[in-house]
Chains A and B, each alone.
Chain A
């Protein structure tokens, strides 16, 4: 459950794409050191929310606050500097770099010295268990490994909030378990998570709280043990 201070706040966030109301007045908060799962059917608006939160999209209405600061109009790279990190629904590594370099370049972008960047990148790669493929070209490793490296790249700056868009899709069972364990370990070290995931079993297993979106609206926000009984959620999923 939320442990006091709020890391992230979304207040009445709405987004329209040429007549399609992708989000309508969505509000929620993520506490510091909380793991919040964001679920919902295809096209519910999950990625759209993440894009508003991380600044990939700034054409929404409403407000995004991050650690007490209004960041609604702050561009994505600046939000990254403030401590937000993310991964993408379509794994987006730098394909011309090795897995290790993908992480190291992010450490350099955080302003670290060469030696410190290398050390931190090694640490992050080990942490997600991608050490064995560190020197391989990112474009050539399996999707599951790419997703792990993406997480390593995201944590190397030591963010305070991680935003993950379907980190488990395309992963094998063992990799799913590994990613879930990594999330829990990082969370234990104080990192807050907002994650979108279709693997409901995994979401319910490790999240502290779940938010359900359907057709751009929030239809549920509460404990993982209640979501299965909520009528709106059953309706949305079972039609």
Chain B
């Protein structure tokens, strides 16, 4: 089904953009901007996982921060007991996947808005557990002295951190784009388009829902492991359900299931305000207003604006007719 062409069409632009961002950070970032670049990379990974899940299931997942926290805490704890940091990404992915599988199985029969509520509850539970399992997580005080990849961020190692996280972003992009063009991806799309029709061709919706949540959670777990090995310090507040809402909103703003949109949205709504050192108050305020305006006028997010801009430019500059949109350019929410 033209899989490789579609794979390249969705992967290459987004990956190129990431490479440019990483390169710019490598060339121009001071210590503060290096930190922003790293954290933005983490956000991109979280948003990509969310966007994949929401885009494919057509349902909201409200516990990315929980999976992120599980990946972060488990890899931190294992490292504090002697596991070498380079194993952390694998551990993060595994923990995320396992917790996603558990959540997915627990919610197999739950669909629609109910899934959003259940996953919201799960996010709250994870946060509470991190706060209250004092013996393991050290409660609200958190874990200190967690090993890191290259030691505390400084002028000498900031390039290494940037390469690791943005390299991970590109790998995640590649994996998700491959997955989307795989058999599995096609089945997810069928289910999203019409559940009744998908069942009529023999697809068991519950199975694919579990698998999708597992993928999103594995991606978030990876982000957690990467964060741990950068920060060296974990507190439960970092993984609040408020973060899940923010991740979801960023994914929606980018345009669900658009990889490029997810990257741009994370940069615009997360990276730029931090670069400009906008205070959290104004950052949330602007974010909220933008969210409301966008949902009114461009509910399919930045990717919708992008598609519109491209077709407008074509018409104006090249005189091409608007023409019939085809499968490759039309994205549905």
A residues contacting B by CB (< 8 A) are 54-56, 75-78, 80-81, 85-86, 88, 92-98, 101, 104-106, 108-110, 118, 137, 140, 153-154, 157
Q: Do A157 and B201 have beta carbons less than 8 Å apart?
A: yes
- Given A92-B194, A94-B189, A98-B327, does the pair A54, B1 have CB atoms closer than 8 Å? no
Q: Is the CB of A137 within 8 A of B202?
A: no
Known interface pairs A77-B204, A85-B200, A97-B193; 13 further A-B residue pairs with C-beta atoms within 8 A, sorted by A's residue number: A54-B200, A55-B199, A78-B202, A80-B202, A86-B200, A88-B197, A94-B197, A95-B193, A97-B327, A101-B1, A101-B186, A109-B190, A137-B325
How far does the alpha carbon of A81 sit from the alpha carbon of B183 in the complex, in Å? 17
Q: Does B196 reach chain A (CB closer than 8 Å)?
A: yes
A residues less than 8 Å from B196 (CB atoms):
56, 88, 92
Q: Roughly how many angstroms separate A93 CA and B201 CA in the complex, as a whole number?
A: 11
Q: Which residue of B lies closest to A94 (CB)?
A: B193
Chain B interface, number of residues (Cβ within 8 angstroms): 26
* Cα distance, A77 to B194, chains bound together (Å): 13
A96 and B189 form a contact (CB under 8 A): yes
CB atoms of B183 and A76 under 8 A apart: no
**In the complex, chain B residues whose CB is within 8 Å of the CB of A96:** 189, 192-193, 327, 330-332
B326 CB-CB contact with A under 8 Å: yes
**Could you tell me the distance between the alpha carbons of A94 and B325 in the complex, rounded to whole angstroms?**
16
Q: Considering the chains assembled together, what is the distance between the CA atoms of A5 and B1 in angstroms?
A: 39
- Most chain-A Cβ atoms within 10 A of its Cβ — which of B183, B198, B202, B205? B202
Closest 6 CB pairs of A and B: A94-B193, A80-B202, A106-B201, A76-B199, A92-B197, A109-B201
Are A75's CB and B204's CB within 8 A?
yes
Per the bound structure, the CA–CA distance linking A219 and B296 in Å amounts to: 53
Question: At the interface, yes or no: B115 with Cβ under 8 Å from chain A?
Answer: no
Q: Which residues of B contact A98 (CB under 8 A)?
A: 327
CA distance A81 to B327 in the complex (A): 28
* Interchain Cβ contacts under 8 Å between A and B, 10 examples: A92-B197, A94-B193, A95-B332, A96-B192, A96-B332, A109-B201, A137-B324, A140-B324, A153-B197, A157-B201
CB-defined contacts of A101 to chain B, threshold 8 Å: 1, 186, 327
A105 and B191 alpha carbons, distance in the complex (Å):
11
Whole-angstrom distance between the alpha carbons of A108 and B3 in the complex? 14
Q: Find the A residue at minimum CB distance from B257.
A: A96
When chains A and B are docked, how far (Å) is the Cα of A157 from the Cα of B201? 8
B193 touching A77, Cβ below 8 Å:
no
B149 interfacial contact with A, CB 8 Å: no
CA A106 – CA B190 in complex, angstroms? Answer: 9
**A80 to B200 alpha-carbon distance, docked (Å):** 6
Proximity bits, B171-210, A CB within 8 Å = 1, else 0 = 0000000000001001101101110111111111100000
Known: A92-B194, A94-B193. A105 touches B186 (CB 8 A): yes
Q: Assess whether A56 is in contact with B202, with CB atoms less than 8 Å apart.
A: no
The reply to whether B200 and A154 contact each other, CB–CB distance below 8 Å, is yes
CB distance from A239 to the nearest CB of B (A): 33
Question: Within 8 Å CB of B332, what residues of A?
Answer: 95-96
- Give complex CA distance A87, B228 in Å: 51
Given contacts A92-B194, A95-B193, A95-B332, contact A105 B187 (CB under 8 A): yes
Known A-B contacts A92-B197, A94-B194; the reply to A108 vs B186 at CB < 8 A is: yes
Report yes or no: A105 in contact with B201, Cβ–Cβ below 8 A: yes
Q: Which chain A residues lie closer than 8 Å to B198 at the CB level? A: 77, 94
Residues of B near A106 (CB, < 8 A) are 201-202
Q: How far is it, in angstroms, between the C-alpha of A106 and the C-alpha of B326 when the chains are bound?
A: 21
| Shortest Cβ gap from B4 to chain A (Å) | 12
Tell me which residues across on chain A come within 8 A of B193, comparing CB atoms. Answer: 93-97
Decide: B324 and A109 in contact? CB cutoff 8 A: no
Question: Assuming the A-B contacts A94-B190, A105-B190, are A77 and B327 also in contact, with contact meaning beta carbons closer than 8 angstroms in the complex?
Answer: no
Report the minimal beta-carbon distance from A77 to chain B, rounded to whole angstroms.
Answer: 5
Tell whether, in the assembled complex, residue B200 and residue A108 are in contact, meaning their CB atoms are under 8 Å apart: no
Determine the residue in chain B with the shortest Cβ distance to A107. Answer: B201
> When chains A and B are docked, how far (Å) is the Cα of A55 from the Cα of B204?
12
